[in-house]
Structure 1
Amino acid sequence: MPLIEMLPVGADTAQWSVWGTTARIVVTDPAAVEDAAALVRAELAAVDAACSRFRPDSELRDACRSRGLPVTVSPLLADLVGAALAAARQTGGDVDPTVGGALCGLGYDRDFAAITGQQVAPAVRVFATPDWRSVRLDGELLTVPDGVLLDLGATAKAAAADRAAARVAVQLGVGVMVALGGDIATAGPAPDGGWRVLVQDRPGDPSCVIRLPAGAALATSSTAGRVWGRPGEQLHHILDPRTGLPVSPVWRTVSVAAFSCLRANTLSTAAIVRGHGAVDLLGNVPSRLVTPGLDETRLGGWPE
């Protein structure tokens, strides 16, 4: 995932490894950092149990094994699936949760931390994704077509950042920034001058510092972060739902600011999939697009 680091803002921090990336929290009251970390860990554990496609005991995997029959799911999983389907609808299917089978077929069939560093030679097969409109969600009644494996990776981590930040702010009464790799959410009061964030995909790549106001969020999607396969034929995790294959890397990274991490991630992922159409998609949304050659395009008032 992209390397996004919070610059010091006079608040205390905690960080740990999760989901093949780093979770980091920053709070405005250093005395609250341990309680805040406990709340975030609990939220992430609940999300993992609900929708991990790498856990055979997750609710999501159970729903995908239902042979096309409707199953009652928890309010949390219903919210996460609903967010994924909304993202698909808002992007015209560019962000599609039915790509799980295609990702597995390309070798991304376990937590990414277990793949990193291995010379994986996946048997590349083309999977025609079933289309997100084949999934039905009626309240807490979920129907997944037989043979479909959902992957909520494009939205669930961002939603988890939003949920965790809100939980800390409400229960502890402090300002907080929650970063899960490239997904950053804030809640509660911001430090003076806002939350300062250094945005950079990889060491040596173009970088910039932005300030997020209270309640703002940031998401960065990358075709360079989660890669696997043998040298010369590396794959990445952002698929074109129409082909079931990794999208052509028109953009190395896309960063988007919004007032929810879920919204920011939906747009950044869709922009990667949209390729040359990303600028039209993002319009006046504050965003920064970096090409494989490290040229930048800044939109919507993204700071120079």
Structure 2
Amino acid sequence: MPLVETLPVGAGTAQWQAWGTVARIVVTDPAALDDARELVEAELAAVDAACSRFRPGSELSVACRAGGRPVTVSPLLADLVAAALEAARQTAGDVDPTVGAALCGLGYDRDFAAITGRQVAPAVRIFTAPDWRAVRLHDLSLTVPDGVLLDLGATAKAAAADRAAARVALRMGVGVLVALGGDIATAGPAPEGGWRVLVQDRPGDPRCTVHLPAGAALATSSTAGRTWGRPGELLHHILDPRTGQPAESVWRTVSVAAFSCLRANTLSTAAIVRGQAAPNLLHGVPARLVTGDLDVLRLGGWPA
């Protein structure tokens, strides 16, 4: 996953476990670190309460159990669902939030940290759940078709990074980088020379360093990072919505830079699903794609 390679002079940083991954914050003023971390933790807690599919009491879980009846939701969940539906629209359904039941059927039915090492047998299933166009959101009224389990994992983590960074910059008046696993968002003034980020998914993978300007974001989607199952039959968490099965691993990782982490993650996830057609999707977008053989393809001005 991408990491801040060299901290800006005088910066402060903290990291902790959240959502089965590492959360990290870097601020340009170390005196603001404690308060900034508190703001980020509060934002993550609010997003988790709104849309975790692993918590029976989350707003999203309640809406999914409503039997197809409309449920009034918070502005936060409405924003997160709207973001997921817009990502589906932008990618012609490659990033589809209605794959929750398929993920559960494949064994990803709890927080990822709790399934690591589980010996889950891959299953062959016919995936018949309605696609994203069957979900209805009108203002704060959300209707999830009966039997459909929404999973906002492809967009909510990136949106949370964007929201948390913006909140810290606004409240604390500092430059800030928020990283949630492979999703990085920045806000406020950047350090001199930009945010220096090392892009490398796993030890031994190709690596490079990029400099993100103020307000830029970076997302990396991987078919190697979040895996589970039997040796030789490992599954990964990025599903092809058309089959309900893990997307073909044409790309080991796809990294995309944009001016929102939500946009970057939408494109990197869709690129994994598109497989060989990913370069067409990413035309003109700064992106770095790594094959299973660890060859690197750079697009859209990504630095060599």
TM-score scaled by length of structure 1: 0.98
2:59 — aligned with what?
59
2:29 — aligned with what?
29
SS at match of 2:113: helix
**4+ residue stretches of structure 1 with deviation over 4 A?**
none
Mean Cα deviation higher: 105-114 or 127-136: 127-136
2:232 — aligned with what?
232
Distance 1:231 1:151, change over 3 A: same
1:78 — aligned with what?
78
Contact 1:14 1:26 in 2 (8 A): yes
1:8 — aligned with what?
7
SS at match of 1:229: strand
Contact 2:122 2:233 in 1 (8 A): no
Contact 1:4 1:201 in 2 (8 A): no
| Structure 2 unmatched ranges of 5 or more | none
1:126 — aligned with what?
126
Paired with 1:300 and 1:56, the residues of 2 have a C-alpha distance of 42
SS at match of 2:233: coil
SS at match of 2:278: helix
Paired with 2:117 and 2:31, the residues of 1 have a C-alpha distance of 38
2:188 — aligned with what?
188
Instruction: Give 1:151-162 correspondences, 5 Å limit.
Output: 151-162=151-162
Aligned pairs, number: 303
The C-alpha deviation readout for 1:88-121, integer Å capped at 9, x for no partner, is 0000000000000000000000000001123333
Q: Please report how far the alpha carbon of residue 9 of structure 1 lies from its aligned counterpart in structure 2 after TM superposition.
A: 1.7
The C-alpha deviation readout for 1:229-261, integer Å capped at 9, x for no partner, is 000111000000000000110000000000000
| Structure 1 unmatched ranges of 5 or more | none
Letter in 2 for 1:275: G
Contact 2:85 2:96 in 1 (8 A): yes
Contact 1:249 1:292 in 2 (8 A): yes
Contact 1:128 1:241 in 2 (8 A): no
Paired with 2:83 and 2:67, the residues of 1 have a C-alpha distance of 23
Paired with 2:129 and 2:240, the residues of 1 have a C-alpha distance of 9
2:109 — aligned with what?
109
Q: Please report how far the alpha carbon of residue 8 of structure 1 lies from its aligned counterpart in structure 2 after TM superposition.
A: 1.9
Letter in 1 for 2:12: D
Q: Please report how far the alpha carbon of residue 124 of structure 1 lies from its aligned counterpart in structure 2 after TM superposition.
A: 4.5
The C-alpha deviation readout for 1:28-65, integer Å capped at 9, x for no partner, is 00000000000000000000000000001100000001
Distance 1:107 1:122, change over 3 A: farther
Instruction: Give 1:1-304 correspondences, 5 Å limit.
Output: 2-10=1-9, 11-121=11-121, 123-304=123-304
Contact 2:98 2:150 in 1 (8 A): yes
Letter in 1 for 2:137: L
Q: Please report how far the alpha carbon of residue 4 of structure 1 lies from its aligned counterpart in structure 2 after TM superposition.
A: 3.3
Paired with 2:302 and 2:131, the residues of 1 have a C-alpha distance of 34
Contact 2:83 2:155 in 1 (8 A): yes
Paired with 2:253 and 2:194, the residues of 1 have a C-alpha distance of 24
The C-alpha deviation readout for 1:252-283, integer Å capped at 9, x for no partner, is 00000000000000000000000011000000
Distance 1:3 1:197, change over 3 A: closer
The C-alpha deviation readout for 1:193-233, integer Å capped at 9, x for no partner, is 00000000101100000000000000000000110000011
Aligned-residue CA RMSD (Å): 0.9
Letter in 2 for 1:111: D
Q: Percent identity?
A: 79
Q: Please report how far the alpha carbon of residue 3 of structure 1 lies from its aligned counterpart in structure 2 after TM superposition.
A: 4.9
Paired with 2:13 and 2:226, the residues of 1 have a C-alpha distance of 25
Contact 2:117 2:229 in 1 (8 A): no
Paired with 1:128 and 1:225, the residues of 2 have a C-alpha distance of 27
Letter in 2 for 1:198: L
Paired with 1:118 and 1:68, the residues of 2 have a C-alpha distance of 33
Paired with 1:227 and 1:274, the residues of 2 have a C-alpha distance of 19
